[in-house]
Structure 1
Amino acid sequence: MITVSVIGCGHMGSALLEGLATVEGYRTIGYDVDPAVLDDVKSYCDRTTTDIDAISDSDIVALTVKPDIVPTVLAEINLHAEQTLMTAAAGVERSFVSNQTDATVIRLMPNLAASLREMAAAVAWDEPDPAVETMLSDLGSYVVIDETHMNIATALNGSGPAFVYYLIQSMQTRAIKEGLDKSDAQTLAIQTFIGAAEMVRAADEPIESLIDAVCSPNGTTIEGMNVLFDSNVDAEVGDALTAATERSAELAAEVDHE
């Protein structure tokens, strides 16, 4: 039985707890200073608490608070060398956290799909942690990266879901405008993204080949793709990732100057 405590039960913390609640082998504790927040996650936890000392014996402690709160939390918790502190605060570097705890520090960038066990996560560590490896696999898929790349990972899989939601909404909205029923448009837009993502994952060929496979000569798809090819949409999406990456770096600088 792995004991996992989550410090900060907002959107991300709640998603981790909700996902773990559907997997055997975990005992979970949700900590937050706000009792109302704990009320929202109590059905996902074995225990909720406003007492920070209650997490002191956990195998894994996930820090899912806002970056500016991290120094305050680190000053309040007392962890030992056999424990793992997994920080998921955007922009907060492992070196900053390691200087204030005896625990092994891992940096993680998860996303909210953890609640459905479809999380995409990036992790940076000095050595693999078997318990964390198991937990991340139970919650979805993860990649191990050098911490110098964590800002772009934060933008890609941390912020990226919002960009995808925007694209789904854009396609759905136009389909409705063209006369399709709202519920039908939503179903088709959502499943189209799910199916396309699964096709990319299963394919042994580049995405360009998948695009070509849908584009019959003089057909409907190529007409639509020509609009995209003639636009700057690829650059705009790239700029969104860059903006999120740069903000992650700014957050790191702000924390380091505390």
Structure 2
Amino acid sequence: MESVSVIGCGNMGGAFLRGLAKAGYDVTAIDLDTDALDRVADVASETTTDVEAAKGSDLVVLAVKPHIVESVLDDVDLHPDQTLVTLAAGVPREFVADRTDASVVRVMPNLAAETGDMAAAATEIGVTDDVRALLEDLGEYVTVEEEYMDVATAVNGSGPAFVFYLIEAMKDAGVESGLEPEEAEVIAAQTFKGAAETVRQDDRSVDELIDAVCSPEGTTIEGMEVLWGSDADEAVRDAVEAARNRSQELSEAFDDA
């Protein structure tokens, strides 16, 4: 892949762009907001407010708010040899494909694209070898039927915020018992990172891994008894469901478009 244009350089688009730049891609940043462009100017090969600049890239990433997707597509005339990766939450792939000549794939990434630790879901339709390579350079991804993109949006797209919330809770517990805030944040965040990597690399199930940490009459089992007796798991499921429902609401706005 020679070049990538990212249209929309806000939180998600900016994180995606920074990850691409770190992975060695030649990235053009496109946004009407010059402040957003300034925030990525240190890593982008070019910054511009002209959406037509995307016509010169092999792959175009559309990372704008759902309600302006149509107007952006009206302003840029992509050609069939290009691939358009849409990151817009809740916007159906077909809605985008009907408004461009480019090949279209819908992807839901997350902010960890910036560090190469992204979790992403992509629609099965539209995934090319170049798209696969790009997603692998930013982290890990799964392909799903589009009907499951709303729940994927909730799990991996919204999920980082839920994890941040839990990290903060563990940090606060450490601080309340005497740790310095910086110390507590480091060990809480690294614990989540290490646990996640263990889940990815270990053949045991999550339940088996919990058992492996819970020595009889030890410290962990005492804490787990509290969690098992609480509604913590239901609260997490409710958070995912709420995010999924909102993604579905966004999608429904495009049903008759």
Q: TM-score, structure 2 length as denominator? A: 0.97
Shift of 1:205: 1.1
Contact 2:105/2:127, CA 8 A, preserved across alignment: no
Q: Deviations over 1:64-93 (max 9, x none)?
A: 011111111111111111111111000000
Contact 1:19/1:115, CA 8 A, preserved across alignment: yes
Within 5 Å, give how 1:180-219 maps onto structure 2.
180-219=179-218
User: Residue 67 and residue 171 in structure 1: after superposition, are their counterparts in 2 closer, same or farther (change >3 A)?
Assistant: same
Within 5 Å, give how 1:67-82 maps onto structure 2.
67-82=66-81
Contact 1:68/1:255, CA 8 A, preserved across alignment: no
Within 5 Å, give how 1:83-94 maps onto structure 2.
83-94=82-93
Please give the root-mean-square deviation of Cα atoms over the aligned residues, in Å.
1.1
SS in 2 for 1:43: coil
Contact 1:105/1:125, CA 8 A, preserved across alignment: no
Within 5 Å, give how 1:115-130 maps onto structure 2.
115-130=114-129
1:170 aligned partner: 169
Distance in 2 between the 1:18 and 1:173 partners? 30
Shift of 1:257: 4.4
Unpaired runs of 5+ residues, structure 2, are none
Distance in 1 between the 2:61 and 2:129 partners? 15
2:106 aligned partner: 107
Distance in 1 between the 2:147 and 2:112 partners? 24
Unpaired runs of 5+ residues, structure 1, are none
User: Residue 256 and residue 127 in structure 1: after superposition, are their counterparts in 2 closer, same or farther (change >3 A)?
Assistant: closer
2:21 aligned partner: 21
Count of equivalent residues: 257
1:48 aligned partner: 47
The letter of the residue matching 1:205 is R
Q: TM-score, structure 1 length as denominator? A: 0.97
Distance in 1 between the 2:127 and 2:181 partners? 46
Percent identity of the aligned residues?
51
